[in-house]
Amino acid sequence: MGIMVLFFLISHKTVLAQKLNMNLHKGKVWTENSSLSPELKVDSLFIRKIYDEELVNGKCYTNLHSLCFDIGERLSGTESANKAVNWGVERMKALGLDSVYTQEVMVPHWERGAKERGYIIVHNQKINVPICALGGSISTPNEGLQGKLVMVNGIKDLEGLGKEKIQGKIVFYNRPFDQKLVNTGDAYGAAVDQRVLGSIEAAKFGAIGVIIRSMSSTLDSFPHTGIMVYDEKVPKIPAAAISTLAANALTENIKANPETEFYFKQSCRILDPVKSFNVVGEIKGSQYPNEVILIGGHLDSWDLAQGAQDDGAGVVQSLEVLNVFKAMGYKPQRTIRVVFFMSEENGSSGGNKYREIVEKRVNERHIAAIESDDGGFTPRGFGITSSEKFRNRFETWKPLFVPYGASSFTYSERGGGADIEGLAKISSALISYDCDNQRYFDIHHTANDLFSQVNQRELKLGSGAIISLVYLLDKYGL
């Protein structure tokens, strides 16, 4: 009897799946709003075709494999970054676009040097721990740097301790991600000031170096690099990140023995800025060529790994808009422009240069600017910064994304992404691609940001969502 019931359930589910598959290919796409206007019903059918093309023939995963293995890490100012620029130009030209060109930009040049070393010193015993220099940091002395520790939860704690308790010591910034925050980006934003500004603030109180708990919601042995800055009016001191597991071990040792010391050695160098490029490719609009829809990701990455999720995924998803439109023979009414920005990780030089250039083009208007820089995970929707008038337009499109799990449209006063946020004055909407990024900050800025961490299906579904939104923006404008 049990076997018969099980057989019936399996057969019933198979029949349902077959019916659903048939309906999808007939264009009968379910939405949460069964009263779509005739025009939006036409759009639902076209969006289904976009997804069919992307999921079956899409090139984003293949392009990402090439970027990760033919080029690899792409720290701005390096020869690898130059190779990535050439890679971008070649990939765009291969699509037969109306124009492909570069935008010259001066970018920071920083070298990590030899692999960093770090250990905890307790009762003359040395406990090796994984660390990495923060991007932009100076080196330690040749013999390394050793000192007693001051553990704080954040920059605000420094004032309470004062110079007397900090001078001559290494400040250990130990504020973890707030695990109560569902959005990992919010947790990152709440903790990242200690990484970016921690060295400046600690140096004001006489610290000789800083160690930063890695920006991650998970416990592992991967230290996370990332940008930090100096103030020319404040002494420069070396800064390194320590993995979250090692941070916990360091915390326990300090609590058990306040005389605990730390040693670290790093050989990084700050060099003069060098010339690099943004890469730009366009399909000109057939009716409104001066109205631009921009899609972009940043071509550079940190130097510890392949930069697959950050932001190789965003680069290939942006390129996929052009690839799919070309493959489908779709001729946009408005100009579709894809930009691979350089040096987002080191201060958004490429984004700033793009803004500087387009602000001078009096006959050009940006309908929207979209950035994918949150990883290539399962799509959820889009974060949108626009006027109330245009928000209503986006709301009418939401039902079209329901079948694909990408209908979460959220609105904020400021957003879009680091490379495009400066376009707020000249763009009707700034848009970020939002995905299920719960694992993003486990990988972000680490040696684990590898091609193997990207799922082909998730990457393609995200591309489909972005392409579909660009199609709607092109058809209806803002």
Q: Could you tell me if residue 2 is inside a domain?
A: no
Q: Could you tell me if residue 304 is inside a domain?
A: yes
In the listed set 220, 238, 267, which residue is the last one of a domain according to the structure?
Answer: 267
**Stretch (H or E) spanning 209:** strand 209-213
Q: Could you tell me if residue 450 is inside a domain?
A: yes
Same-domain check for residues 158 and 278: no
Same-domain check for residues 282 and 412: yes
Q: Each residue of 77-91: pLDDT tens digit?
A: 999 999 999 999 999
Same-domain check for residues 259 and 157: yes
- Please say whether the beta carbons of 354 and 334 come within 8 A: no
Which pLDDT does position 415 carry in this prediction? Answer: 84
Same-domain check for residues 394 and 458: yes
Same-domain check for residues 305 and 418: yes
Return the minimum-mean-pLDDT range out of 32-36, 53-57, 384-388.
32-36
Q: Residue type at 99?
A: S
In the listed set 267, 297, 326, which residue is the last one of a domain according to the structure?
Answer: 267
Same-domain check for residues 127 and 96: no
**Residue 31, phi-psi category: left (phi > 0), alpha (psi -120 to 50), beta (remainder):** beta
Which pLDDT does position 87 carry in this prediction? Answer: 98
**Separation of alpha carbons 286 and 305, rounded Å:** 41
**Separation of alpha carbons 262 and 326, rounded Å:** 57
Spot the catalytic one: 53, 320, 344, 371: 344
Q: Could you tell me if residue 131 is inside a domain?
A: yes
Residues in CB range of 200: below 8 A, 6 or more apart: 229, 230, 231, 234
Q: Could you tell me if residue 1 is inside a domain?
A: no
- How many CA atoms, within 13 angstroms, populate the side-chain half-sphere of residue 5? 2
> Bridge partners of 72?
none
Backbone φ and ψ for 17, nearest 5 degrees, come out as: -65, -40
Q: Could you tell me if residue 23 is inside a domain?
A: no
In the annotation, is 344 catalytic? yes
**Domains identified in the chain, total number:** 2
In the listed set 218, 242, 267, which residue is the last one of a domain according to the structure?
Answer: 267
Same-domain check for residues 126 and 104: no
Average pLDDT, the chain: 93
Domain region containing 462: 32-110+272-476
Percent of the chain with pLDDT over 90: 91
**Residue 268, phi-psi category: left (phi > 0), alpha (psi -120 to 50), beta (remainder):** beta
The distance between the two most distant Cα atoms of the chain, rounded to a whole number of Å, is: 82
- Please say whether the beta carbons of 250 and 129 come within 8 A: yes
**Separation of alpha carbons 344 and 342, rounded Å:** 6
Which pLDDT does position 19 carry in this prediction? Answer: 40
Q: Is 326 exposed, middle or buried (0-12, 13-18, 19+ CB in 10 A)?
A: middle
**Residue 375, phi-psi category: left (phi > 0), alpha (psi -120 to 50), beta (remainder):** left
Which pLDDT does position 12 carry in this prediction? Answer: 44
Which pLDDT does position 34 carry in this prediction? Answer: 58
Same-domain check for residues 250 and 345: no
> Bridge partners of 122?
125
- Please say whether the beta carbons of 313 and 64 come within 8 A: yes
- How many CA atoms, within 13 angstroms, populate the side-chain half-sphere of residue 301? 34
Which pLDDT does position 414 carry in this prediction? Answer: 85
Q: Each residue of 107-156: pLDDT tens digit?
A: 999 999 999 999 999 998 999 999 999 999 999 999 999 999 999 999 99
- Please say whether the beta carbons of 137 and 241 come within 8 A: no
Interaxial angle between packed helices 388-397 and 38-57, expressed in degrees from 0 to 180 and rounded to the nearest 10: 70
Q: Each residue of 403-438: pLDDT tens digit?
A: 999 999 999 988 899 999 999 999 999 999 999 999
- Please say whether the beta carbons of 200 and 155 come within 8 A: no
Q: Residue 33 pLDDT more than 90?
A: no
Q: Residue 192 pLDDT more than 60?
A: yes
Strand order from edge to edge, sheet including 334-341: 99-111, 269-283, 334-341, 288-298, 365-371, 429-435, 379-386, 408-411
Q: For residue 419, give the CATH number of its domain.
A: 3.40.630.10
Structure tokens at 426: 């000249």
Same-domain check for residues 251 and 144: yes
**Separation of alpha carbons 315 and 300, rounded Å:** 10
Same-domain check for residues 234 and 304: no
Q: Each residue of 4-29: pLDDT tens digit?
A: 433 333 344 444 444 434 343 444 44
Average pLDDT over residues 312-319: 98
State the first-to-last Cα distance of the chain, in angstroms, to the nearest integer.
61
Q: Could you tell me if residue 77 is inside a domain?
A: yes
Same-domain check for residues 190 and 60: no
Rg (CA), the chain: 25
Average pLDDT over residues 334-348: 97
Q: Could you tell me if residue 3 is inside a domain?
A: no
Query: Is the model's pTM score more than 0.85?
Result: yes
Same-domain check for residues 203 and 77: no
Return the minimum-mean-pLDDT range out of 6-20, 168-182, 335-349.
6-20
Average pLDDT over residues 92-96: 98
**Separation of alpha carbons 397 and 476, rounded Å:** 11
Q: Residue 36 pLDDT more than 90?
A: no
Q: For residue 262, give the CATH number of its domain.
A: 3.50.30.30
Which pLDDT does position 161 carry in this prediction? Answer: 97
